[in-house]
Amino acid sequence: MAINNEQVGVILSYVLGGLALIWLLFMFIKKSDQKYKSPLPPGPKPLPLFGNLLSLDPELHTYFASLAQNYGPIFTLWLGKKAGIVITSPVLAKEVLKDQDTIFANRDVPAAGREATYGGSDIVWNPYGPEWRMLRKVCVREMLSNTTLDSVYNLRRFELQQTIKFFYSHAGKPVNVGEQMFLTVLNVITNMLWGGTVKGEERASLGAEFRQVVTEMTEHLGSPNISDFYPVLARFDLQGIQKKTRNLAQRLDRIFGRMIEQRSKIGGLNGGKGGDSGKDNKDFLQFLLQMKDGGDAKNPLTMTHIKALLMDMVVGGTDTTSNTVEFTLAEMMNKPEVMRKVQEELDRVVGKERIVEESDIQKLPYLYAVMKEGLRLHPALPLLVPHCPSQSCTVAGYTIPKGARVFINVWAIHRDDSIWEKPSEFRPERFLDGKWDYSGNDFNYFPFGSGRRICAGISMAERMFMFSLASLIHSFEWKLPQGDKLDLTEKFGIVLKKRIPLVAIPIPRLSDPSLYE
C-alpha cells in the first residue's frame, strides 16, 4: 500500500518528536553537571533518560569498588535523574561523616523505606532534627543503654541456652546455622520488646512469620526501584515494591498492635506498672508506652513512633547480627588454626566444666579480634545506609548536589590493600594490638558507621555477637557434611548475606552432657 505525503509527514513528526525528547533528556542530564560552580565527581558516561542504571551490577559493593579503580575514590553515577555519589576512601569518608556531618546527616528515603517505617518515622530514615534527636535519645539512653542491657542478661542467656540445647539435640546432623541464630536474636529482641507477653505455640509461630517477613523486607529495601530514580513515576509502583513492602509492614503492624493492646491492658490493670516492680523489670514496650503518656511536649513520642521503633528493632537487629555470626563461624571453619586458638582461649578462661557466661567475654581478647575481623571482611551494611546532603556542598573539590544519594563503600575501604595487609585473608591477629575499634573515629575501620547517624545498637550487637559465637565454639566442634565444600561468597543487599547458607554438623565438646540441658 502506497504511503501518501500526509502519512509521511505524520511519521516524520513522530520521529522528530522522539529525537527531540531524547535530546532534551540528554541536555537535562548534561546541564545538571554544569549548574554548579565546581564540577560533579567524574564517573561513567550516562545514557539519556536511564543514566547509568542499565549498567549496574546487582553486587553493588564489588561493582562500586571496581569503578573506583577507574574513576577514583569519589565518583558519580546517574540513577535515572538522581545523582548517586560513591565514596571509597577513608579521607573522604571522614569529610562526609565527620567534617560535614550536619549537612550529610539526612537520609535519601527509598519508597520501600517509607512503606516499611510508617512514612520514615523511625530512627533510621527520620530526617535529622528535633524529632530524630528525641528518638535517638530514647534508643541510646534508655532502650539500648548498658544499664538496660545488663538488666536483661538472663533473657539473653536463656535464649542462647535454648539454641545450644537445639544444636545438642541435632548433634551429628546437619543444621542451618544462620536460621537458628536468626531465631535466637529474634527471640531475644522480641522478649526485650514485650517481655513474656507471648509464650508457647504463639511464640513459635511468630518466629517463623518474623523470619519470612524480615527476609523479604530487607530484600525490597535493597532492590533498585524505579520509583526512587524517577519520583514522578512513584505513584505507579511499576515494580510493585511499595505494595509488597506495604503488605509485609501491615503483617508486622498487626503483631505490634496486638502486643501494644495486651501490654496496655496489663499496664492499666496494674496502675501503669505492668505488674513489675522497679524500672529494670520493664520491657521496652512498656517503657515506650509510659514515655508516650508523659514525654516531651515539644517533641512527643507518638504511637506511630513506637511502632516505627519496634520495626527498627525487629528488622534492623535480627538479620545483621545473625548474618555476621554465620559469616564469622564459616571463616573460622575455613581457618582451623583460628578455631583452635579461640577454643584454647575459651578452655583456659571458662574450662569444659561449665558454660560460657557473658561476664567471661571481657577475658577473651582473641575472640574479640575474631569478631572485629569478621566485621571487617563482611560488614553487615556494606554501603551503610545512604546519606543525603541537605544542601549542595563541596567534597574533595567536587560538588555534591543537594538531595544526592551518597554511598559510603565501607566494604571496599575495609579491603583496601593500602591500609590492610593481605586484606582478603581472615587474619584476626591484625586486631590484637587494640589499635582498631568501631567507635566511628577511625575511618579505616567503621563497620557500624560514624557521626550522628552511627548505629544506635552497637552495644546490643556486640553482646549478642560475642556471647553467641563464644557459646557456639565452646560447646561444639563444627564440621561440614561429607562431600560439601565451604562457600564464603556474599550476596549483596542493604544487609550483606551469605550466598549459600552455612549448613554444618555440631559435635559436642563439653565434659558433662547435663551442661547442654
| pTM over 0.85, yes/no | yes
Contact 405, 388 (CB under 8 A): yes
List pLDDT tens digits, range 200-236: 666 666 677 788 899 899 999 988 899 999 988 999 9
Query: Do the bridges between strand 393-395 and strand 398-400 make them parallel or antiparallel, or are there none, so unpaired?
Result: antiparallel
pLDDT attached to residue 101: 97
What H or E segment, with its residue span, contains residue 498?
strand 497-498
Which one, of 273, 323, 312, 310, lies nearest residue 293 by Cα? 273
8-state DSSP, 47? B
Q: Where are the alpha helices (DSSP H) in 126-222?
A: 130-137, 146-151, 153-169, 177-194, 200-222
Average pLDDT across the chain, whole number: 88
- If you write DSSP's letter for every residue of 34-65 in order, what string do you get? HSSSSPPPP-PPPBTTTBTGGG--S-HHHHHH
Q: How far is CA 309 from CA 124, 425, 506, in A?
A: 9, 37, 36
pLDDT attached to residue 25: 52
pLDDT attached to residue 278: 39
Mapping DSSP to helix (H, G, I), strand (E, B) and coil, where does residue 176 land? strand
Quote the percentage of the chain above a pLDDT of 90.
69
d(CA 434, CA 451): 21
Contact 83, 40 (CB under 8 A): yes
Across 19-33, 214-228, 317-331, least confident range: 19-33
List pLDDT tens digits, range 84-136: 999 999 999 999 999 999 999 999 999 999 999 999 999 999 999 999 999 99
Q: Residue 387 forms beta bridges with which residues?
A: 107, 406
List pLDDT tens digits, range 372-391: 999 999 999 999 999 999 99
pLDDT band at 517 (very low <50, low <70, confident <90, very high): confident
pLDDT attached to residue 413: 98
Strands (E) located in 251-396: 387-388, 393-395
List pLDDT tens digits, range 245-294: 999 999 999 989 988 988 877 665 454 443 333 344 567 888 888 888 76
pLDDT attached to residue 168: 96
